[in-house]
Amino acid sequence: MSVPQRNANLESNGIVTYVAGWTLGGGTSVNNMVFNRGSPYDYDGWANITNDDSWKYSNMLEYLKKSENYQGNFPSDQHGYDGPIPVSQPRYAPGLENWLEAGRSLGHAITTPNGPQKMGFMPREFSKRFGRRVSAYAGYIRPFLRTRRNLRVIAKSEVRRILFEGNRAVGVRYITNTTEGGQVSNIAKARKEIIISAGVIESPLLLMRSGVGPREVLNEAQIPIVKELPVGKGIHDHVVLGLTFVINNKSLVFDPDRDLNPETLRIYNAFGDGPYSTSGGYVGQAMLASTVAQNEGNPAWADYMLYPIQSASAPAIFPPAEGIAMADWETPVFCGVAAVRPKSRGTLTLNATNVDGDPVIDFNFLSHPQDIQVLLEGIQTALKIYEETPAYKRLEARLAPIEMPACDNLEYRSEEFWRCFIRQRGNSFLHAVGTCRMGRGQSDPDAVVDSRFRVIGIDGLRVADASIIPNVVNANTHAPLYGIAEKASDIILRDWEDRPGGSSSPSTFKKTHRRRTWA
């Protein structure tokens, strides 16, 4: 959980809960499986930040395609067809046609989330095969566990420290939980180098606990400094909130109580289709540019996302729908509004009194006024879609009443009301990045790793995960991270092929001691 935010999620005392995937496959094993790469401008921006053209979209495309086994409705040379991760649109997508029709009536293009045109209304694509999740573990690791000599997975384990000899990383200390309830502490020594991929929260924590981080943080925690770097600074995330509407057609939503039954389970088991194949009613999205983007000269670089949720049950960021007055033939539907090129930046640091405990996270959400403006325009567009387009007028769509005591002194639905609403409800989209920021190397005061994933000033240590992303993509981070991982593996392979004795060989493991706790 975060420290109380001053400008976001105030309805919950400003506390933001951040959920991560502590399992094989990480976030890909627990997320909504939404697969969209983001804008080419995102990657071109990374190239500019790192002064490395290999990060441009035109060069990253080969890596983004490499993971894909595309099975969707928009085949083109923008997609890969031989990768381990299947990508497609679900056949079961209630309400999608209404969403796309509304986009057309407002003059927007109907496009794909993973093609060259990233602006407009589109169906969502997911990393599924026959309606079932395919995680990074299922696609990349499990098929090779018994055949790769240089692959070993140690489950129920957590790396606690990186071990150094001078400025070189030589190994890690990790603990493994035992069936008896105790813990075994081990050391794994690296023959070549160590690659940290613990995620946006755990990778910076691991670096700081091991002596790599801001001087003031390490001194306060009484951790000997190995290398002073701005670890944990610059964390940021998409900010999301939700609107609830009511429509007059229950057939256009996924209703678990109605739709999950023996017959639909039979259809799912036989064909991977039907209600059991849904990702919670997530069927489409729109990528649009606010006046903020337009005034900055980026009218084709979307800075907000709208996405309909065709479900009778409220998702986590929405208030419960049970209290809404509705006729028997009516149903709630939901629309997410997200600022996807946020300017606000925060910090992640150690708890100096318990360095192995939870971190201190301040997302600093909505501290930049332009983030609030973007969300305001997103809300206004959502209202136009549901209240003014023929597709939703036929459904007699209406905004469900909003109970917001903190905003009661403001005129309902006025601009100031919505700004108040944004601060009350704005929350994390669980797409945080930037805690081990990638940059130009030694000359970049904000960089932790260089453009080849190497931790600056440390030999034998790289970071390859969401933490290196300097500016978040304007999309879910799922698909971009596969591209980043493919690029990282290519760079590491090339670096070692260029050195004497560069053939792959397994790390060595040495068990040191057993006890129930370790610090």
pLDDT digits (tens, 9 = 90+) for 369-423: 999 999 999 999 999 999 999 999 999 999 999 999 999 999 999 999 999 999 9
DSSP bridge partners of 240: 338, 427
Assign 127 to helix, strand or coil: coil
Which tokens go with 11? 């309805």
Q: Is the pLDDT reported for residue 509 higher than 70? A: no
What distance in Å separates the CA atoms of residue 37 and residue 477, rounded to the nearest whole number? 7
Q: What are the distances in angstroms from CA 33 to CA 57, 94, 300?
A: 22, 18, 26
Q: Residue 74's pLDDT is what?
A: 86
Q: Is the pLDDT reported for residue 504 higher than 60? A: no
Task: Name the one residue in this structure whose structure tokens are 């980026």.
Answer: 298
CB atoms within 10 A of CB 452: 17
> Is 119 annotated to bind ligand?
no
pLDDT band at 179; cut points 50, 70, 90: confident
Q: Is the pLDDT reported for residue 505 higher than 50? A: no
What distance in Å separates the CA atoms of residue 485 and residue 388, rounded to the nearest whole number? 43
Q: Is the pLDDT reported for residue 513 higher than 50? A: no
Q: Which residue type does 409 have?
A: N
Which tokens go with 148? 């790769």
pLDDT digits (tens, 9 = 90+) for 143-174: 999 999 889 999 999 999 999 999 999 999 99
Check: CB of residue 406 under 8 Å from CB of residue 214.
no
What distance in Å separates the CA atoms of residue 168 and residue 156, rounded to the nearest whole number? 27
Rounded mean pLDDT, 348-355: 95
b/e sequence 329-359, b meaning 16+ C-beta within 10 Å: ebbbbbbbbbbbbbbbbbbbbbeeeebeeeb
Which tokens go with 401? 């009443």
DSSP bridge partners of 515: 183
Q: Is the pLDDT reported for residue 312 higher than 60? A: yes
When the pLDDT of each residue in the chain is averaged and rounded to a whole number, the result is 93
Q: What are the distances in angstroms from CA 414 to CA 84, 144, 381?
A: 49, 57, 14
Rounded mean pLDDT, 100-119: 91
> Is 31 annotated to bind ligand?
yes
pLDDT digits (tens, 9 = 90+) for 471-481: 999 999 999 99
> Is 364 annotated to bind ligand?
no
Q: Which of 119-123, 312-316, 334-338 has the lowest mean pLDDT?
A: 312-316
Q: Is the pLDDT reported for residue 118 higher than 90? A: no
Taken in order of first residue, the domains within the chain and their CATH numbers are 90-123+240-340+369-404 (3.30.560.10)
pLDDT band at 63; cut points 50, 70, 90: very high
What distance in Å separates the CA atoms of residue 503 and residue 490, rounded to the nearest whole number? 14
pLDDT digits (tens, 9 = 90+) for 417-465: 999 999 999 999 999 999 999 999 999 999 999 999 999 999 999 999 9
What distance in Å separates the CA atoms of residue 118 and residue 285, rounded to the nearest whole number? 11
What distance in Å separates the CA atoms of residue 432 and residue 359, rounded to the nearest whole number? 14
Q: Residue 459's pLDDT is what?
A: 97
Q: Residue 40's pLDDT is what?
A: 95
Q: Is the pLDDT reported for residue 510 higher than 60? A: no
pTM above 0.85, yes or no: yes
pLDDT digits (tens, 9 = 90+) for 235-292: 999 999 999 999 999 999 999 999 999 999 999 999 999 999 998 899 999 999 999 9
Q: Is the pLDDT reported for residue 76 higher than 80? A: yes
The HSE-up count of residue 263 (CA atoms within 13 Å, CB side) is: 2
Q: Is the pLDDT reported for residue 138 higher than 90? A: yes
Which tokens go with 105? 């009536």
